[in-house]
Structure 1
Amino acid sequence: MRVYIPSTLRRLDDACRVGEFGPPPLTAYAVTPALREWYAQGDDEELEYAAMAQAARASVGLLAADPGTARRRLVVACEVGAVPPADGTVELGDARLELNVVVPWSTVAAVHMDAAEAVAVVGKAADLWDAAQNGDDDALFALDSCEGEDLMWYATQEIPDLLAAEGPRGGMNGLS
């Protein structure tokens, strides 16, 4: 099953160096029964996109918690064998899962990351993350604005070059 792990350049660099994502529990997003029920008319590709979009939104929260890392949403797509069932508290449309295992680097299928041009939009959303979680309309608008930015796709063999070019801070000033 494909799962989407929200991340940052710093976290991706760490996972690449140690060969795994962890420690558990690890938040990931996937096509869950709750997502499938909410988006009943969606085909598999649309459902996967919806799960990835939720992971990208969660990535903004990780950026808010780590102001020193590049202001670019990052989602790691992984193929895992077993995904735990929802515990019954999942809301309709929710793609969120909690993985109680380490996810090996060998399961990485691709990385999705914002282009450098998205830094201002994503940075503003990260700065306003806490206010958005508290329902502030302007902050929610800033967070929703990130969805207008496309995530670029990187194959697994491109990840080392991406990390070398961007570094865990995302460039010389840590903001690009």
Structure 2
Amino acid sequence: MRVYVPATWPMLRTLVKNGSVDPIGGTAFALTPKLRESYTSGEEEELEYAALTEAARASLRLLSVEFGLGEDSTPARRVVIAADLENVTLRPDLDDGAVRIAGGVPFESIAAVHVDTDEAEYAVRQGAGAVDSADMGDLDAEFLVGEAEDHELAWYDPSEVAFLVELG
């Protein structure tokens, strides 16, 4: 199953260094039956993009924690790791596309990595600081999150990840 793992820049560094990455709480996103039901129409690729978008929002939540801890050297970029895994279970207690992964994500299973460009950093930093308030219904905060989400994530082949981390 193709899963989308919300991640951060330090998690990318770990992936390059150790050859695997552990999703926070084993949580990832995928095109689940519940996510498919929440859309009245859409091609497979469009629905996969919805799962990727949920993972990108979760990455923003992870960044809010990192910035809150003073990780100033961490680039303000959302990261989503797309991987093909078998040990995946549904998480109906969370978002429509949420799944649980058993164990880490080995580098060999990664299909692509999606990362914000440096042009998105200001909006992502603002969105990360506002995501919790947005989740609670604050319209100004939702605007800031929307500004971050307006930036498309860039696609990277797994062979480019080490170079990407080195440049970052």
TM norm. shorter chain > 0.5: yes
1:1-176 maps to which residues of 2 (within 5 A)? 1-22=1-22, 25-67=25-67, 68=71, 69-86=74-91, 88-89=92-93, 94-166=96-168
Match of 1:149, SS? coil
Could you tell me how far apart the structure 2 residues matched to 1:118 and 1:22 are? 25
Whether the 8 Å CA contact 1:24–1:102 is kept in 2: the answer is no
User: Cα–Cα, structure 1 residues 99 and 157, in superposed 2: closer, same or farther, change >3 Å?
Assistant: same
Greater helix content:
2
**Number of aligned positions between the proteins:** 163
Name the structure, 1 or 2, with higher relative contact order (CA <8 Å, separation 6+): 1
How many percent of aligned residue pairs carry the same amino acid? 39
Q: What are the Cα deviations for residues 15-61 of structure 1, in whole angstroms up to 9, with x where unaligned? A: 22122222674110000011111114111100110000110011101
Whether the 8 Å CA contact 1:25–1:100 is kept in 2: the answer is no
Could you tell me how far apart the structure 2 residues matched to 1:141 and 1:14 are? 32
User: Cα–Cα, structure 1 residues 24 and 148, in superposed 2: closer, same or farther, change >3 Å?
Assistant: closer
Runs of 4+ in 1 over 3 A off after TM superposition: 88-91
**Unaligned stretches of 5+ in structure 1?**
167-176
User: Cα–Cα, structure 1 residues 33 and 90, in superposed 2: closer, same or farther, change >3 Å?
Assistant: farther
User: Cα–Cα, structure 1 residues 24 and 117, in superposed 2: closer, same or farther, change >3 Å?
Assistant: closer
User: Cα–Cα, structure 1 residues 53 and 23, in superposed 2: closer, same or farther, change >3 Å?
Assistant: closer
Whether the 8 Å CA contact 1:24–1:101 is kept in 2: the answer is no
